[in-house]
Structure 1
Amino acid sequence: MSFFKRIFSGKQKESLDSGLEKSRSNVFQKLSKVFTGRRRVDEELMDDLEEALITADVGVDTTMKILDRLRNRARFEAYAEVQELYTMLREEIGGLFTEDAQGAAAANELAPGQPRVIMVVGVNGVGKTTSIGKLAWRYKQAGKRVLLGAADTFRAAAIDQLKIWSERAGVD
C-alpha cells in the first residue's frame, strides 16, 4: 500500500473518530453533571453551565453564543424543565458543528479557473512540509492542478524536501 493510501485509509478515520468520541464524551460528562440534581432552570444553572463549557475548552465566544441561544429558546419556547434545557443544549452544540461544516465547505470550494493560494505557517519541525505534500496529493486526486512553491529557503534542503513531496504527489 502506498504512503498516501495508508495516510488516508479508513483506519486513520477510525482513529480520528475514536479520539473525537473521547473528547465528546468528556464534554458531555461535564455538562450532564451541571444538570444532575437540578429541579428548575434558573440563572445559577446558566452560570454553572457557562463555567462547565469554558472549562471544557469550548471557548468564550462559542460559550456565549450557546448560552444566548439557550436563553432565547428557553424564553421563547417557555421551557421550565431542566431535562428539556439539556436537550436544547445538545441541539445547539450539534447545530454549531453543522454551521461550521457548511461554512468550511463553502469556503473551500474552488471556483472553476480561479487559483487558490494556501500558505502554511508554523514553527520548525511540526510537519508543515509533510502536510503540504498530503494536501497536494488530495487536491491532485480531486482533479485539481497543484503547484508547490518554497518559501522556507533559508533552511538547508527545504527546497529539496518540497521537490520530493511534489514528485510523490505527482504535482508541479
Structure 2
Amino acid sequence: MSIFNSLRDRLSKTRNNLVNRIKETISGKASIDSNTLEQIEEILISSDVGYYLSNKIIENVRTKMLNTKDRTSDKIIFDVVKSELKKIFDNNSTSRVSESNNQAKPYIILVIGVNGAGKTTTIGKLAYNYKEQGKKVLIAASDTFRAAASEQLEIWSERAKADIVISEKSVDPSAVAYEAIEKAHKEKYDVLLIDTAGRLHTKSYLMDELVKLNRIITKKLNRAPDETLLVLDGNSGQNAVVQSDEFSKTALITGLVITKLDGTAKGGIVFQIFEKQKIPVKYIGVGEDITDLQPFNAEEFISAIVDIN
C-alpha cells in the first residue's frame, strides 16, 4: 500500500463525512440548486471546516455554476473545495521561528497542550522519529503535576530507545528541565524533548508555570526553545480553536501537532485553526503505533480527504 493510500485510509472518517455525504446530497438531482448548495455548506461546517471558509467555498461553487452548462456534476464542487483548501496554505506559507540559533545543540523542543490531547504519546513518537534519523535523543519528564506522567513517558522513551531525565527529588518542572538541559549539553545530545504538565487554558497558575519554564530555558540556553509545539486533539472540534487562541497568548507556538485524526470525522479543524492562527501544522497523528506520527504535507492531506478518484 502506498503512503498516500495509507493516509487516505487513516483519514477515512473525515473523508466519508465530506465526500460521501456530498455525493449522496447531489445524487439523483436534475441540477445543483441553491437548496443543494446550502446542504453542502452544512456538511462542510459539520466537518469543522469553519463557517467562513465553508461559505467562501459555496459562493465560489455558485459562481462557477453560473458559467457552466453542466450543473449536475459533482466535479465542480470537489475541484473548488480542493482549490480553496490549498489556498489556505499557499497564501500563508511562512513558518514561525523562535529567535534561537537552529544550528545549536541540543535542539530543544518544548511540548505543550491540555490533558488528554496526546502530549505523552507525541513526545514518544517524536523521539522515535529523531532516533530513526540517527539522532541522540533525550526526554525531560517535566510534567510533575500529573500522577503517573513520568512512568508513562518512561515507557514511551523505552519504545523509542531514547534516554530520559526523571527527577526523584524535585516537583518543580523548571528544575527538571534545567537538569535535562545540563545533561544534554554535557553528554552532547542532538535533541531534547521537554514534556510539560497538561494544563487547561483557564488555569492561570499553570499558564504562569509555562511562562516560568520558558524563562528558565531561555536563561540557561541564552536563547528561546528551538520549537514550541502545541498538541491538539483532532476530536475536540471548536475547543481546539479556543486552546490555540489561549496558548498563543502565553507561548510563541512555532508549530501544531494535531492528534487522533484517524478517529474523527471532523478533520476539517486543521484548516480552521491554520486559517485563523497561521501557525504551521508540523505533524498529524493518524494511529496509535509509534510510527503513526507523520510530518504534515498539506497537498497530501487535502487529496486524502477530498479527491473523488
Bin for the TM-score computed over the shorter chain: 0.5 to 0.7
1:122 matched to 2:111: no
**1:163–1:51 distance in 2 versus 1, CA, 3 Å:** closer
Instruction: Give the CA deviation at 1:151.
Output: 3.2
**Aligned residue in 1 for 2:77:** 89
Match of 1:113 in 2: 103
**Distance verdict in 2 for CA 1:107–1:96, change over 3 Å:** farther
Which residues of 2 match residues 69-88 of structure 1 at below 5 A? 69-75=60-66, 78-84=67-73, 86-88=74-76
Which structure dedicates a bigger proportion of its chain to helix? 1
Give unpaired runs (5+ residues) of structure 2: 164-191, 193-309
Q: CA deviation at 1:140?
A: 3.2
Name the CA distance, whole Å, in 1 between partners of 2:93 and 2:129: 15
Gaps of 5+ in 1: 1-9
Structure of greater Rg = 1
SS in 1 for 2:139: coil
Coordinate RMSD, CA, aligned: 4.1
Compute the displacement of 1:152 (Å). Answer: 1.5
Measure how far apart 1:31 and its partner are.
Answer: 1.2
Evaluate the alpha carbon distance shift between residue 49 and residue 163 of structure 1 in structure 2; reply closer, same or farther with a 3 A threshold. Answer: closer
Displacement of 1:47: 2.0
Tell me if structure 2 keeps the 8 A contact 1:69–1:92.
yes
Question: Relative contact order, CA 8 A, sep 6+: which one is greater?
Answer: 2
**Could you tell me the TM-score, scaled by structure 2's length?**
0.39
1:138 CA displacement = 0.9
How big is the shift at 1:153? 0.8
> Percent identity of the aligned residues?
30
Aligned length: 159
Give the drift of 1:136. 1.6
